[in-house]
Amino acid sequence: MKSVDAADYTIAVIGAGAMGQGIAQVAAQGGIKTLLFDAKPGGADAGREQIIKRIERLVEKERIGADDAKAASDRLGSVSDISALAGCDAVIEAVFENLEVKSDVFKQVEAVVSKDCIIASNTSSIPISSIASACEKRDRVAGMHFFNPVPLMKLVEVIRGADTSDETVAALTELGKRMTRVPVTVADMPGFLVNMGGRAFSSEAFRIMHEGVATPAEIDAIMRDCRHFRMGPFELGDLTGIDVNFPASLIIYNGYMQDPRIKTAPVHEAMFNSGRWGRKTSGGWYDYKDGKVHNPPSPDYETDASPAGHVSLAEPSEALTDFCKSLGIEVREEDDGEAPILAAPVGDDATHTSLMTDADPKRLVCVDLSCDTSKRICIMTAPGADPAARGAVAAAMIKAGRKVTAIKDSPGFVAQRMVAMIANLGCYMAEVNLATPADIDLAMKLGLNYPLGPLEMVEDLGSENTLEILERAQELTGEDRYRPSMWLRRRAILDLPIHTPA
């Protein structure tokens, strides 16, 4: 194989759609001679014109210089016959997500390129080994999965198939760097890394909604304000499209032999069947008008109650005492039988917190202190709780300048459940060698804009707390979806850093 650093290194991109154009653009801007091919007559020429227009707009926005733009455009060519790819050092396929179509493309490419030419697929869902099975020289076949829009999304997954050689993986890793992307090496498993890792963020949110614990607006607000995600799971689902994310969820779920940890909820399928697919249909989890949410429901709890002046605690807690002081609420050692009682459980719901602490469930208000409470505070109460206790506590929080979201009873509130599930899935991916722990964190931050990688979330929440949340959820719900990964369990028990290798 030719060195990727060679000045005359040449690649081809097959498929001049949005993804193909993006890949060709970053290659040309990265200093690589690039050929664009499309089976549709005139498709490659039209794609090249669109890329050049985008490069020229970068000059107008003063993001690149005119000389660099001209050089990139000069490196970009278009061809109308696949035989013109004969001299390429690497070919990246970016055609329709269909195994038969891709296999046919790979056969055609293999028939014209040299034996040292790498052939990579940009597939997001089809196993690389399945595509490679149509080829004679499978060691030079791999995945090179970019993310849309390619010029803005820095991540590229380099996917190792069953027969992919180390040399091929190393070359594609260097090629990704030369294309100014950040490559991570990923095993050939369903959904690869990012699409697999993103399942917990959406599926657990859908499950929480399905259980009636909180609304989409409430869940989104909690994850934005308390856990610093750029978008909530329902906002993101509407953006990507439910017609896309529901089938993807099924593919990955079935690909992992129906592992309950990545199973979606019935409400997800109901939305898919209804045709409410998100922004593209002007209605999904939210309604849209002119591309913006129309009449968005409020996630904020409102009350006319007088702020609580004092409370007692279900059990001693320095963190909860300090929190109350920050709100101007007096904490009294003795329960007077009338004032609200506060607790800050980890993994438990209000019902079981009241049982374990002997606190009056009617006056018990649970507060999630596991996350940022500077903007929004999540509170929950047990069934049959006195609305006056909840209202008084919420009023004190609102008076202190915080927004409040009041949810139904749930083991682990909303943020604890979701973060623990995201973290557990990240640990599972490390356990099965999908990628290295560091690459799992990096990929999820770059590919999905997570504020922290999944294993970093374990560090933030604490491995013992993460394990406790999952174990309590599994115990209280009886569901295997909450079973902790052995990666997490062993490191929590041994008090080892979560990134400790196996």
Question: Which residues have a catalytic role annotated?
Answer: 124, 145, 157, 195
Q: Which of 134, 140, 136 is nearest to 120 (CA)?
A: 140
DSSP states along 458-471: HHHH-HHHHHHHHH
Q: Which of 155, 152, 144, 19 is nearest to 446 (CA)?
A: 155
- Cα 219 from chain centroid? 15
Length of the chain: 502
Cα→Cα distances 171→89, 158, 167, 434, Å: 10, 10, 6, 20
Give me 165's structure tokens. 């050689």
User: How many angstroms separate the CA atoms of 446 and 394, rounded?
Assistant: 36
- Helices marked H in 318-412: 318-327, 350-357, 387-399
DSSP states along 81-140: SGGGGTT-SEEEE---S-HHHHHHHHHHHHHHS-TT-EEEE--SSS-HHHHHTT-S-GGG
User: How many angstroms separate the CA atoms of 449 and 242, rounded?
Assistant: 19
Q: What count of other Cβ atoms lies within 10 Å of the Cβ of residue 260?
A: 13
